[in-house]
Structure 1
Amino acid sequence: MNTDIPPDPQADAVRDEPTAVAERYGRRRAFDARYSLLDRAALAEQQGRLRAWAGLWSAQAAQLSDWRITEVGCGDGGNLLDAIRLGAQPGHLRGLELLPARAERARARLPAAVRIDTGDAVRADIAPASQHAVLQFTVFSSLLDDAFQQRLADTMWRWVRPGGGVLWYDFAVDNPRNPDVRGVPLRRVRELFPQANAQVRRLTLAPPLARAACRIHPMLHGLLNALPPLRTHRLVWLIKPE
């Protein structure tokens, strides 16, 4: 009797794509001054994103202190810090980070009550329907395997309780200078989370334009950013129906 088990392409994606992501991130510079908030363009991007995020969650402001929030790909913890600024309690926050060095920076930067776990997010021990919000900021544009994208999206959606949601911020367009990322169109976001009710905002002036504008005058950044076709990212609040 033939006992060979046929390969499972989806299982291979789960094993291989996190390794590929780690390798792709390893090719990047450990620190890039262009992303420091001391850079005017980076600061304008962060402020615009935080204003839009606050707008999406403003109706829940009174409840944010009770929310349990997990971020997939928390990096050095900047988004979790923003969640605290918006009213979330550190003891209700959890960050998942694939790269150990980034996880260590997050632990050093965030309050001790914030839990930071290292490893593949699809293997995280998080109970179904236990999270009010799951965050992902520029994670899916770094996943080049469609099957793994869907596996991660399904995992995140399973964690979300009814009435909660996934907060998505990511590239809407390709970056021609970086083959390690790809834009995620709104159609694909809806495919990944087909049951969600989506609130969508287009954000973030194209970074090369933003840097050039800020070198000339900060007000020019605001003028260019008023033109939606020049914005490269999308913020989406994907709500799970009650």
Structure 2
Amino acid sequence: MNDDAPTSSTAAREAENVRDRYARRDGARDANRYSLSDPYALAVWQERQRKMLRMLAEKGLRDLGALDVLDLGCGSGGNLLDLLRLGVAPDRLQGIELLAERAEAARAVLPASCSIWNADALTLDIPAQSQDVIVLFTVFSSILSDTVQQQIADQAWRWLRPGGVVLWHDFVYDNPRNPDVRAVPLTRVRALFPEAHVRSERITLAPPLGRAACRMSPALYPLLNAIPLLRTHVLCTLAKPL
């Protein structure tokens, strides 16, 4: 863990580092690997959607059209499109994305009434307690500064209404082939959000195994994923007390 001091320069430096990491990653990644036409990507997405909806319903958040939702680290808008399909109203849906090209891609596929901010989340003046759901999907694993992780967690918590939830999804094992990311175990999630009521579930069959299995038959995904030790991610609702 890093022990950098909580300064604005630390946050600015980490934001620039994140931009550099994503530029390297985007240059090397195979976009088709993450397309829903890929059997493994489709199985992962379907599993996450089902469990996400169930966990939100458990918190009483069933009518998504009545909620204000913010996706922090929205990328090119994939999660925002999912949320629209699930019933979130476009004018109650916002996304924040640090990388300009990804923010532009999100704007290109989303309704104009959906607000997309190309900004560092720490610089935005969003009203406190204005959001019912804040989505944090594979965001913190790309932030290598402990201090900046905590600053962003505090910011998200400030924006969340009492009774609302942070919807969290990230991986819990380090990838030795990718030094630009690091795992975020559940103990770290709890430390970042110490006031939250946490409901968590391990999901997602390990990517190398899952991709190999799905090439043989997509039916192998649920069979192998039934073994908890083979799941690499955690999905959480982090509820803010009333």
User: RMSD over aligned Cα, in angstroms?
Assistant: 1.4
Which is worse superposed, 63-72 or 147-156? 63-72
1:13 and 2:3 matched: no
Task: Please report how far the alpha carbon of residue 61 of structure 1 lies from its aligned counterpart in structure 2 after TM superposition.
Answer: 5.0
Q: Match of 2:26, SS?
A: coil
Identity value in percent: 52
Residue 32 (structure 2) aligns with = 33
1:42 and 2:65 matched: no
Task: Please report how far the alpha carbon of residue 53 of structure 1 lies from its aligned counterpart in structure 2 after TM superposition.
Answer: 0.6
- C-alpha separation in 2, matches of 1:8 and 1:170: 25
1:223 and 2:228 matched: no
Residue 239 (structure 1) aligns with = 239
Gaps of 5+ in 1: 1-6
Closer, same or farther in 2 for the Cα pair 1:72/1:62, shift >3 Å?
closer
Gaps of 5+ in 2: none
- C-alpha separation in 2, matches of 1:83 and 1:8: 36
1:69 and 2:66 matched: no
Residue 140 (structure 2) aligns with = 140
Residue 4 (structure 1) aligns with = none
Q: Match of 1:28, SS?
A: helix
Checking the alignment, whether the CA contact within 8 Å between 1:10 and 1:148 is kept in structure 2 is no
Checking the alignment, whether the CA contact within 8 Å between 1:129 and 1:159 is kept in structure 2 is yes
Task: With the length of structure 2 as denominator, give the TM-score of the two structures.
Answer: 0.94
- C-alpha separation in 2, matches of 1:41 and 1:123: 37
Residue 213 (structure 1) aligns with = 213
Task: Please report how far the alpha carbon of residue 122 of structure 1 lies from its aligned counterpart in structure 2 after TM superposition.
Answer: 1.1
- Name the aligned partner's letter for residue 46 of structure 1: W
Task: Please report how far the alpha carbon of residue 125 of structure 1 lies from its aligned counterpart in structure 2 after TM superposition.
Answer: 1.8
Checking the alignment, whether the CA contact within 8 Å between 2:126 and 2:159 is kept in structure 1 is yes
Residue 80 (structure 1) aligns with = 80
- C-alpha separation in 1, matches of 2:225 and 2:140: 24
Larger Rg: 1
Checking the alignment, whether the CA contact within 8 Å between 1:61 and 1:87 is kept in structure 2 is no
Closer, same or farther in 2 for the Cα pair 1:108/1:228, shift >3 Å?
same
- C-alpha separation in 1, matches of 2:62 and 2:176: 42
Task: Please report how far the alpha carbon of residue 62 of structure 1 lies from its aligned counterpart in structure 2 after TM superposition.
Answer: 4.6
Task: Please report how far the alpha carbon of residue 127 of structure 1 lies from its aligned counterpart in structure 2 after TM superposition.
Answer: 0.4
Residue 57 (structure 1) aligns with = 56
Q: Match of 1:189, SS?
A: helix
Task: With the length of structure 1 as denominator, give the TM-score of the two structures.
Answer: 0.94
1:104 and 2:101 matched: no
- C-alpha separation in 2, matches of 1:103 and 1:239: 28
Checking the alignment, whether the CA contact within 8 Å between 2:6 and 2:148 is kept in structure 1 is no
Task: Please report how far the alpha carbon of residue 176 of structure 1 lies from its aligned counterpart in structure 2 after TM superposition.
Answer: 1.6
Q: Match of 1:38, SS?
A: coil
Closer, same or farther in 2 for the Cα pair 1:8/1:174, shift >3 Å?
closer
Task: Please report how far the alpha carbon of residue 57 of structure 1 lies from its aligned counterpart in structure 2 after TM superposition.
Answer: 1.4
Residue 167 (structure 1) aligns with = 167
Checking the alignment, whether the CA contact within 8 Å between 1:21 and 1:143 is kept in structure 2 is yes
- Name the aligned partner's letter for residue 43 of structure 1: L
- C-alpha separation in 2, matches of 1:115 and 1:185: 31
1:89 and 2:89 matched: yes
1:22 and 2:19 matched: yes
Task: Please report how far the alpha carbon of residue 113 of structure 1 lies from its aligned counterpart in structure 2 after TM superposition.
Answer: 1.3
- C-alpha separation in 1, matches of 2:123 and 2:110: 23
